[in-house]
Structure 1
Amino acid sequence: MKTKAVRMYGANDLRLEEFELPEIKEDEILVRIISDSICMSTNKLLTQGKAHKRAPQNIDTNPIIIGHEFAGEIVQVGEKWKNEFKPGEKFAQQPALNYKGSLASPGYSYEFFGGAATYCIIPQEVMELGCLLHYDGDAYFDASLGEPMSCIIGGYHIMYHTNKTNYDHAMDIKEGGNVLILGGCGPMGLGAIEYPLVTDRKPAQIVVTDVDNARISRAKELISSEFAQQHGVQLTYFNPQESNDQYKELLELSNGKGYDDVFVYAPIRELAELGDKLIAFDGCLNFFAGPSDPNFTALVNLYNCHYTSTHILGSTGGNTNDLKEALRLSAQKKLRPAVMVSHICGINAIADTTANLPNIRAGKILGYTQIDLPLTALDDFEELGKTNPLFASLHTSCQKHSGLWNTEAECILLDYFGVERS
């Protein structure tokens, strides 16, 4: 079967190509991909090429398919898995495999397994690990965004606090505590703001910083302080560039106690150091943002680590349970992964978009691999709709859903291009 896919041959070398997939083996599954959201981690892979820890060294002769946040439909099932999976059903998948200690992952390491494609082959280790999930949701994009949401959820669950009596670690954020999200109005940050609002374990307060007023304004529209208050949480947005002393003002927002849980959502040394200074007694800092520089360092206060029991950690990716939680909360309409989405595109635009991602003022970008469509901002739908009925319909749909991408909009788009689906 032929597939069209964005393949990487080395550093800064992406190519959209059509080629033959091999016949699947008895322990493999062939899938048709509908949606693949674009991740900054793929841009890091592209800039590093073979130097990336997940990239194979023969990538120049055996290119990999990029993309790891994808969803679609099962087309053909190898004999080994016929009792568990059926052609025609939807799927979601967990890309963090860690199979027998290997770093291999879809979108980074496999010649025929990645999301920026019309079809791909899922290898046996994915099913063996339980990382291919049955998905019954209405929207493919929710399943694609389940992966980045699982990273956010995992970032919360990995936080911990200690009990000095027995040294037990109480996992997750402190219930009723203060949460600080530094650099938090980007796409992943928006997910990090909304997630604790819809779970049972809620903080009393969330403070979110960003230096971009446009991003803060969008965050306030999507996740307002009033919305947070309805869920029992005080939410404050803060621009440090409008402050004479950001440390002092952020400390005052915590009533002078510091923050029980601090998340650093931008790989900036000064931000990590500020977060370290603002950790409360027995507080925890998660350096969530992944830097490209393997020698990235920051100064941390080890005196506090010793005497005030501060904890510092980092997290990357989520596990399968985190993904299941993301999909469940989305299906229950409690969590809105769409708050992350600012643009859509077709497979023809994925390579250039991935390469230019750091320069695009965007939230999450949804790639629909069965269609050709230029990179298009949701905010541009209204103007484009004056001359294009597709965008007029998409604008109307998004306006009915608080300006967010939604299931109806996805159906309008796929129907317009004649994409068949389950």
Structure 2
Amino acid sequence: MPKENYAWYYLGNGIETFGINGKPSKYEMKLPGKDEILARVDAVALCASDIKMIRMGNDYPLFKNRDFHKDPAILGHELSLTIEEVGENLKDRWKKGMRVGVQPDVYMSSVRYCMGVNVDGGMQHYILLPKPVFYSDQGETIFEVDKNLSYASVAQLEPNACAEASYRAWGRNEFDKEGSILIYIGPEGDQEYMLDKELEHKKVVIFSKGNKTKKYPENAVDITSLNDAWKEAENGFEDILIVGNIENEEFEDILEHMSDTALICWLAEQETDQMIKADIAKIHYGKNNWIGTTSKCLSDAFLEEKQRYELKDRGTLLVMGGAGAMGRIHTLRAIMKENPPSKIVVTARRRKRLEALLDDFGEVAKKHQVKLNIVAMEDPDWRKELRSYCKEEGFDDIVVSAPGTEPVENAVPFLKKDGMLILFSGTKYGSYAKLPVGYVASYGARINASSGSTVEDEKKVLRKIEAGQYHPDQNVMAIAGFKALKQAVEAVSQGKYPGKVIIYPQLDDLPLLDIHQIGDYDKAFEGAQINGWNREYEEKLYQKLKKGE
């Protein structure tokens, strides 16, 4: 083991303060404590979050009040590692030479430890994995990987896991009896409705605009104004039950006072196409479940077949704002899944990025019998072109993979009435867009959202890669060595590469290379320009640059 380590420090004030005088710094190698592991950093995938942290500095939530000059940050959270030294308490489980992946965002005793943010990340030669990685509130967040996998694939587990996580449940499928419920009864009253599920909650609040004929829990509080309801649940209602018709303004007011984990159930009096304005950030970062029915039977809203999270087999998919790194991940996942969509349309503002996606994924789409199409929103008639791919009925599934409310507003008119809308991309709180809540109650549509991932999501992606069902390296657009890391960060911040950029910290002198032009660097890599990056080319790279060491 070398006695010294090298790291890229970030000093908290934009790209100019990334690196001391624009270069990596040398410091004494830290050896692991009894509950720690020292690992070699084989690869780091650059992430949009890295760019956001560099731009925001102390405005980034986990950097709040940090004195960067006393405590500079080491970024990098999408990692591929090899164990070098193991702390005494971990030697029975972990051995030198094991290749591992890690979930970087963990909690121990309810305290958050985020590698690459408030814990040192992977933009260094070696990384000290702290105790929370092994003793988190969810157990171990480190896992062994197959030695035959490319370093790049393992480094991409975390972003791919974030995409994978958006196709599973985040919210509850049942009422939370330990929480509070708001029951809204519309002007027609509750007489025609079958409320055949228990409504017992620690707190029950009822607002009725019509006749109330059903038997409700004894602890129910009747109110005469919705404004009175908010006093009953200061942190928001865990459950919301709408019985009958409701005006948009009232629904929107209720959504302002739902908890982050709210289940929203609407028993609509009749089919409705109501679009309800909601805070997109609150939904994206929360763990909500939107259900409903027009059958007037409460239990029908909870039927298992209504709880869809996966893309429809051989259906149609729209990836809105899909030419960036995460949109490409969603697109590639859809193409390579079992029974993929028969048609995928990807939109973005600029045609150039979309054409790159078509070049990179066109052949694999053909192989999986998927019609892959692109629509550039810089074209004046983009809506007309997009409609031609889905006709009047719309797309079975839509993934919104661009930040802000405009992509949501642009996407919703193209959703099939019984389709699934996934709000994948984050935005700032207080950003409102209209959502097809009426479709949920009337036709069984889904409004799903997710933020982040778990170690189990990473392992699920890992199993797909190991089984040959998924190839994340097809999304690698550029590679660089350790000394070129800042140049790579600048390129990502400028949007030069739509896919992933992989850093190899052990290859100090590797320049920043575009995979589509890598044959100019060495003809031995020309095949990667056509077939994409993989383990074989990684090995050739190491043989070339590590020769004689």
Could you say which TM-score interval applies, normalised by the shorter chain?
Answer: 0.7 to 0.9
Question: 2:104 corresponds to which residue?
Answer: 95
1:364 pairs with one of 482, 500, 513: 500
Instruction: State the 1:305 CA deviation.
Output: 5.7
1:143 pairs with one of 146, 154, 165: 154
In the alignment, is the contact (CA less than 8 A) between 1:161 and 1:282 conserved in 2? no
Provide the identity percentage: 25
Question: 2:179 corresponds to which residue?
Answer: none
In the alignment, is the contact (CA less than 8 A) between 1:92 and 1:144 conserved in 2? yes
Give, as a single letter, the amino acid of the residue that structure 2 aligns with 1:135.
V
In the alignment, is the contact (CA less than 8 A) between 2:11 and 2:18 conserved in 1? yes
Matched, 1:284 2:420: yes
Matched, 1:47 2:55: yes
In the alignment, is the contact (CA less than 8 A) between 1:161 and 1:174 conserved in 2? no
Query: After the TM superposition, which residues 4-403 of structure 1 pair with which residues of structure 2 at under 5 Å, given as runs?
Result: 4-12=6-14, 13-15=17-19, 16-55=24-63, 57-60=65-68, 61-110=70-119, 113-128=120-135, 129-138=139-148, 139-158=150-169, 164=293, 165-167=300-302, 168=304, 169-200=307-338, 202-224=340-362, 227-242=364-379, 244=381, 246=383, 248-291=384-427, 293-300=428-435, 304=439, 307=442, 310-362=445-497, 363-370=499-506, 371-383=508-520, 385=521, 391-395=522-526, 397-399=527-529, 402-403=530-531
Instruction: Note closer, same or farther for the CA distance 1:352–1:98 as it changes in structure 2 (3 Å cut).
Output: farther
In the alignment, is the contact (CA less than 8 A) between 1:288 and 1:315 conserved in 2? yes
Instruction: State the 1:381 CA deviation.
Output: 2.0
Query: After the TM superposition, which residues 403-418 of structure 1 pair with which residues of structure 2 at under 5 Å, given as runs?
Result: 403-418=531-546
Of 185-194 and 307-316, deviating more is 307-316
Instruction: Note closer, same or farther for the CA distance 1:196–1:163 as it changes in structure 2 (3 Å cut).
Output: farther
Summarize deviations over 1:234-287 as a string: whole Å, max 9, x none: 4322223335251x4433422322223211122143222111222222433222
Give, as a single letter, the amino acid of the residue that structure 2 aligns with 1:344.
I
- In 1, Cα distance between equivalents of 2:67 and 2:489: 18
Give, as a single letter, the amino acid of the residue that structure 2 aligns with 1:114.
G
Instruction: State the 1:358 CA deviation.
Output: 2.7
| RMSD after superposition | 2.7
Q: What SS does the corresponding residue of 1:86 show, helix, strand or coil?
A: coil
TM-score, normalising length from structure 1? 0.87
In the alignment, is the contact (CA less than 8 A) between 1:191 and 1:339 conserved in 2? no
Instruction: State the 1:322 CA deviation.
Output: 1.7
Instruction: State the 1:218 CA deviation.
Output: 2.2
Instruction: State the 1:227 CA deviation.
Output: 3.8
Q: What SS does the corresponding residue of 1:367 show, helix, strand or coil?
A: strand
In the alignment, is the contact (CA less than 8 A) between 1:153 and 1:326 conserved in 2? yes
Instruction: State the 1:22 CA deviation.
Output: 3.0
Q: What SS does the corresponding residue of 2:483 show, helix, strand or coil?
A: helix
In the alignment, is the contact (CA less than 8 A) between 2:404 and 2:431 conserved in 1? no
Instruction: State the 1:75 CA deviation.
Output: 0.5
- In 2, Cα distance between equivalents of 1:261 and 1:382: 39
TM-score, normalising length from structure 2? 0.68
The structure in which a higher percent of residues are helix is 1
Instruction: Note closer, same or farther for the CA distance 1:419–1:100 as it changes in structure 2 (3 Å cut).
Output: farther
- In 2, Cα distance between equivalents of 1:21 and 1:43: 27
Q: What SS does the corresponding residue of 1:43 show, helix, strand or coil?
A: helix
Instruction: State the 1:90 CA deviation.
Output: 0.7
Instruction: State the 1:420 CA deviation.
Output: 10
Summarize deviations over 1:196-251 as a string: whole Å, max 9, x none: 23333533432211233222222222222x643543444322223335251x4433
Instruction: State the 1:37 CA deviation.
Output: 0.9
- In 2, Cα distance between equivalents of 1:220 and 1:375: 23
Question: 1:388 corresponds to which residue?
Answer: none
Question: 2:205 corresponds to which residue?
Answer: none
Instruction: State the 1:158 CA deviation.
Output: 4.5
Of 353-362 and 134-143, deviating more is 353-362
Give, as a single letter, the amino acid of the residue that structure 2 aligns with 1:327.
L
- In 2, Cα distance between equivalents of 1:98 and 1:276: 35
Instruction: State the 1:20 CA deviation.
Output: 1.9
Q: Which structure 2 residue ranges, 5 or more long, are not aligned?
A: 171-288, 294-299
Q: Which of these two proteins has the greater Rg computed from alpha carbons? A: 2
Summarize deviations over 1:294-327 as a string: whole Å, max 9, x none: 5544444555566555544432222212211222
In the alignment, is the contact (CA less than 8 A) between 1:190 and 1:339 conserved in 2? no
- In 1, Cα distance between equivalents of 2:547 and 2:115: 24
- In 2, Cα distance between equivalents of 1:73 and 1:373: 20
Give, as a single letter, the amino acid of the residue that structure 1 aligns with 2:479.
I
- In 2, Cα distance between equivalents of 1:355 and 1:298: 32
Question: 2:188 corresponds to which residue?
Answer: none
- In 1, Cα distance between equivalents of 2:155 and 2:10: 21
Summarize deviations over 1:49-70 as a string: whole Å, max 9, x none: 1221222633411122100011
Instruction: State the 1:107 CA deviation.
Output: 0.7
Q: How many pairs were matched up?
A: 407
Q: What SS does the corresponding residue of 1:64 show, helix, strand or coil?
A: coil
In the alignment, is the contact (CA less than 8 A) between 1:54 and 1:104 conserved in 2? no
Give, as a single letter, the amino acid of the residue that structure 2 aligns with 1:376.
L
